[in-house]
Amino acid sequence: MRLNSIKSLFCLLLLNACMDSAAQYNNIYEERAWNERDKWQKANVIIRAMDINATSKVADIGCHQGYMTVKLAKALKPYGHVYAVDVDDFKLKKLQQILEERELEENVEVIKGDYDDPKLPANALDAAIIMDTYHEMSSHMEILDHIMKALKPGGRLLILEPIADERNDWSRKDQERRHEIAIRYVLEDISKAGFELVEKFDPFIERKEKGDKMWMIVGKKPS
Q: Give me the CATH number covering residue 189.
A: 3.40.50.150
Both 197 and 172 in one domain: the answer is: yes
Both 95 and 117 in one domain: the answer is: yes
Are 217 and 158 within 8 A, CB to CB? Answer: yes
Domain count, the chain: 2
Q: Three-state SS for 171? A: coil
* Separation between Cα atoms, residue 198 and residue 219, nearest integer Å: 5
Q: Is the pLDDT of residue 118 over 50?
A: yes
Q: Is the pLDDT of residue 199 over 70?
A: yes
* Separation between Cα atoms, residue 149 and residue 221, nearest integer Å: 9
Both 58 and 166 in one domain: the answer is: yes
Quote the percentage of the chain above a pLDDT of 90.
83
Q: How high does pLDDT run on average in the chain?
A: 90
Length of the chain: 223
Return the number of other C-beta atoms located less than 10 Å from residue 63's C-beta: 30
Confidence of residue 4 (pLDDT cuts 50, 70, 90): low
What are 10-22's pLDDT values in tens digits?
Answer: 444 444 443 343 3
What is the domain extent for residue 90?
40-220
Both 53 and 89 in one domain: the answer is: yes
Residue of higher predicted confidence among 55 and 25: 55
**13-40 mean pLDDT:** 64
Instruction: State residue 2's pLDDT score.
Output: 56
* Separation between Cα atoms, residue 175 and residue 132, nearest integer Å: 13
**170-175 mean pLDDT:** 97
Full DSSP string of 121-159 = PTT-EEEEEEES-GGG-S-HHHHHHHHHHHEEEEEEEEE
Confidence of residue 90 (pLDDT cuts 50, 70, 90): very high
